[in-house]
Structure formats: structure tokens, C-alpha cells
Chains A and B, each alone.
Chain A
């Protein structure tokens, strides 16, 4: 694994226009790096902005959205001129497996034709070569190549999710964004899909961002994780680091609210609800619900601080750490 990041997101902001003139600040200054072959988890609950973040990276936001910040692929900012700079890279360098992908197939076209489609659209392969590659892709994700002419309804949910992954890999991207790929699946099928994703990242050298609300899934599959709350990343670091030494109360409380199969500890929910993002937030966004809030939390927004190499958090509790802002 080389040290140079393949994908670098810097200060990404996304606003949505709301009826009535106001705006929703859905993503508030997200920054992270992704190295080749790395699996990173983007964890958070509903409304935290994780899906919006990766949609922004793909340039798939509606016209009511405004984006600021940079998304650099191999050093080139693909956000520089909006759609014009994103579309050449879409699917060819960075591809996405959508939430509910199993239901995103056109029911009147065969799976094979739908996987060939992006190949021909983006010019990576045509005709016979495309069909051949489609078969190989299906085999790669664990579907028999003979099923290339089957229709979506002839596949089970798990198989369709595999087909969705094959679709994302159609143009041989280097970065795969997976949005809740296993949320609607049974736990055994989820295990199969996760194993597939891990195998793909290893064999193909893919980098992957796994967006999910399920912490244990990220713990099982990802090398690093970023925890999002109210549009920003509140903690990011290696998985074991985050679990054993959480530096943000939200991370700690989120683990505490997740039941562990064999654990004995009590499961405690987090009181309250996330803040509204159509208003300016003063101080730390998590302060109203935090069990360790103290004097500065309500009025001063905490800074992003690196508490140990590769581990950063946005919390006043870390202020005593040498004030070294991460690069």
C-alpha cells in the first residue's frame, strides 16, 4: 500500500436550497484521504450527511445543491468546474454502489445488457469484448457467467446486490463508494457480500469507502473509519484506535448504544436528536446531547486535532493535546 492517497477530499461543503429561501448545510467541511487498497468506513446515523458526501464526490447531486471544496483524484481536483470535470471520471475512476441497489435495475432489460451499458457509454469496451468482460465480471462477483442474459427478477436479493457491484466495476474504477450495500440483506447474505467486497479490494487493488450506520460492520471490514455527525467528521482513525480509545463522546456513546452479541455491557441510547442543519450551529453540534459537555462546548466550535498519529477528533476534550492541526 503506497502512502500517497488516491483520493483526497478537502473541506467539502454541500448546501441544499429549501423552499422558503433558506438553506440546509448538509455537509460541513469534510476532509479525508483514501489510500490505494484501503477500506474506509464512513459511519453515522440518518441525516448526518454521509450519503450526501459520497454523492457529492460522484457529482450526483440535484440542481438544488451547491458544492464547495475539492475532491482530488490522483492530485487532480475533479470538482474544479463541477459537472464538466467530474463526468470524465465518473464510473471510470470512481464508481458507486447505491443504497437499495438491488432495486435499481431496469426490470425489462437483462442484467448483462445493463452492465454492458456503462462500458459502451464511457467507451471502455464495446460489442463482443464488452460482453466477454461482463461475463468475467459476473464470475468475479460470484454469479455464474451463464446468467448474463437473465432478468433482474430471476435473481435473489443477494445476487442482485452482487450484480450491482459488478455494475459498479464495469469500467474498472479505482475507487468504489458503497452506500449501505448490505442494509436490507439477511445477516448471512451480508457476510457473503462483505467478504466479496474485501476480496475485491485485495485482488483488484480497489480502494473502498463503505458508508453505513452499522458500526460492527465497519469494525469487521474496514481498516479505518470516519464517524460523521451533523454534517462533519467528528472522529477519524484506525478501527482499533477508534474502538479502544475513542476521542469523541459521540463515538463512545455510539459504541455504547450498539448491542454486542457476546458482550455483557448495558446498551444505552443517546438522548435527544441531531441538530437542525438549516440553522447556524453555535459551538459543538453534539453539545446538547453530550454527557461530557463542559464550559466551552456550547459557545466555541471545537477544532480538528490529531490526538495520535492518524487519529483525529473534533472535541474540546482533546484541547489539552499539543495543538497540532492535522495536515
Chain B
């Protein structure tokens, strides 16, 4: 009669770990633990939460109205206006706070669009394979090849300038990398033994995709989406800077555009240009830190320095450490 002990032997796992490097055995919830244990990721998350908070509640925080002239034109930062005023005398800090909403909105929405399209294409392409895979991949190639700025110009010219269009454009440009990534992962998960086992049970494709494949792919998708937010925020900024943005929406890119159009440089008004740029940079950095730590968690081999010289330590004969 065999009775197996309920708890695994830790040495079994570590023997394999020490002998051949970290393997693919990851426990569910490791993403959460990866983020919560890495300081870079925590800082990134905190920063993102901060900006999201400002985006949602910003209108209550603006010290001055953003539509009225509340100070002299291009006034430098002072106790009354912390970040000075722009070429219309409007308080820069208020503008910055107002701009956060649009930039964050576009960033997240566009990343969501890209994730939805890319994820769907990747899953279908990877799972179904065959001719559908070939066709979808060729379509992906076509979209990859489209140059973004001319596309934006043409879209703006034909369909007009609005936030919705910008979100769509950014989504269209950026979904391809997600699709490729997800497709590769889905292809690999599809070959795993537990998926084959479920299929040999007679499970429908629906069940296989939603219960087995997607949960394995979701962490990668989320990590990718976080990085996509960074790209989308930056894209929105330069689209608007080029003059293709929504004329009625205030975003960080709009502020920079205004600053250039209003000759802020000639007036030495650095406070009109630098703060929005800094905000964009901080958001991108934050997204990258979170996204990178998630990717590191997904691929532990990235972290472990296998190429480093293995320097084991010596302990004096007969000496065991007190901590046991």
C-alpha cells in the first residue's frame, strides 16, 4: 500500500534547479509576487497609479481655470503659479493636470485596442494554424509595413481630427507586435501535454482556448499591454505635436505644440515646454519598469546570470551557520 506524503521534497526541486538552471515550472500568481517583490516594479506601479488618480480627479485639483487668463503671458514659475503661465496667460500647472486626463485616456484606450486586436489575431492565428494562420500573418505583415506618420496624416485628412480617430490609429499601428508575440506563445502552449490531454478527452476548441490557452497567455498579454501604454502615450504626444490631434482636447502633446507655435523658446519660457515632456517621460519609464519586471518574471532566464563565473563560497571545516 503506497502512501505518498502530501508535501513535495524541496531538494527534488532544488536539485533540478541547481543542476540545470531555472526551469519552466512556475506557480500561478507568480506575476503578482514578482511585481510585489521588485522595488522597480513597485515604484513604477505607484507612479502609474498617481497619474491615473490625477487623470480621474484632476479637475478638482486644478488651482486655476484652464480657460481664463489668470496671469501675465509667459510668467515664470512663482508662488502664485508654480509652473508659470503659457502664451495665453493660463496657468501651466492647471493645464498640465488637465492634459493628464487626455493623455492617459488615449494611452490606455489605444493600448486596449491594440491588445484586443493583437490578442485576438494572435490567438486565432496560433491556435488554428494552417491557412488562416498564413493569411493573418500576411495581413499583419502589411500593417507592420505601413509607415505611421503618413498613415496618420491621411487618416486625419480623410476622417477628420478627433480623439477617437487618434485612438484608432494608434491601435492600428501597434497591434502587430502583440499579435506576433501572442501567436508564438499560443503555438507553444498548444503543444503542451495538458492541452493535448484535454483535446484527447474530447474538449471543444472553445474550452481549450478559454480555459487552458488563454490563462497561460494572459500574463504575457498583460505585460505587453503595459509596455504598449507607454508607446501609446508617446504616440499621442507626437501625433498631437504634429498638429494632427483633436483641436478641442488638451493633452501633453497639445501643450508642447502650443509652446512651439507660441514661440516659447524665443521667450525663454522653458516652463511651457519641459513639464509636459517630463510627464510623458515619467509615464513611459514607469510603464517600462512594470512591464520589464513582468517580463522578467515570465522568463526567469533573463535574470539569472548563467554566463557569470560560478564562484561558490567556502565554509571552514566543521562550521555550520547558527541560523537553522
Binding site for A on B (CB under 8 A): 1-5, 7-16, 18-20, 308-321, 323-324
| Chain B CB within 8 A of A245 CB | no
A46–B323 CB distance below 8 A: no
A83–B312 CB distance below 8 A: yes
A274–B311 CB distance below 8 A: no
B10–A60 CB distance below 8 A: no
A49–B11 CB distance below 8 A: yes
**26 contacting pairs across A/B (C-beta < 8 A):** A11-B317, A15-B315, A16-B14, A23-B323, A46-B12, A47-B9, A47-B12, A47-B15, A49-B11, A51-B15, A51-B18, A52-B18, A55-B18, A56-B312, A61-B18, A61-B310, A62-B18, A63-B308, A65-B18, A68-B314, A70-B317, A82-B311, A82-B312, A272-B3, A276-B10, A280-B324
Binding site for B on A (CB under 8 A): 11, 13, 15-16, 18, 21-24, 26, 46-49, 51-52, 55-56, 59-63, 65-70, 79, 81-83, 99-100, 230-231, 269, 271-280
**Roughly how many angstroms separate A274 CA and B15 CA in the complex, as a whole number?**
13
Q: Give the chain A neighbours of B311 by CB distance below 8 A.
A: 63, 82-83
B314–A16 CB distance below 8 A: no
**Roughly how many angstroms separate A137 CA and B10 CA in the complex, as a whole number?**
40
A62–B312 CB distance below 8 A: yes
Q: A63-B313, A271-B4 are in contact. List 11 more A-B contacts (CB 8 A).
A: A22-B323, A26-B11, A47-B13, A60-B310, A63-B310, A65-B313, A67-B313, A69-B317, A82-B314, A273-B4, A273-B5
B11–A82 CB distance below 8 A: no
Residue of A nearest to B318 (CB): A68
| Number of A-B residue pairs having CB atoms within 8 Å of each other in the complex | 116
B42 to chain A, nearest CB (A): 17
Q: Give the chain B neighbours of A279 by CB distance below 8 A.
A: 324
| Prevailing SS type, chain A contact patch | loop
Task: Take A61-B18, A83-B312 as given contacts and tell me if A274 and B317 are in contact as well, using a CB distance cutoff of 8 Å.
Answer: no
**Roughly how many angstroms separate A307 CA and B319 CA in the complex, as a whole number?**
29
A67–B321 CB distance below 8 A: no
B316–A68 CB distance below 8 A: yes
B323–A272 CB distance below 8 A: no
A134 to chain B, nearest CB (A): 25
A24–B319 CB distance below 8 A: no
Q: Give the chain A neighbours of B315 by CB distance below 8 A.
A: 13, 15, 66-68
**Roughly how many angstroms separate A65 CA and B315 CA in the complex, as a whole number?**
10
**Roughly how many angstroms separate A307 CA and B189 CA in the complex, as a whole number?**
54
B11, B14, B324: residue with the most chain A Cβ atoms closer than 10 Å? B11
B9–A276 CB distance below 8 A: yes
Q: Residue B317 contacts which of A59, A68, A277 (CB distance < 8 angstroms)?
A: A68
Q: Give the chain B neighbours of A51 by CB distance below 8 A.
A: 15, 18-19
Q: Give the chain B neighbours of A62 by CB distance below 8 A.
A: 18, 310, 312
B18–A16 CB distance below 8 A: yes
A274–B11 CB distance below 8 A: yes
Residue of A nearest to B316 (CB): A68
Q: Give the chain A neighbours of B319 by CB distance below 8 A.
A: 68
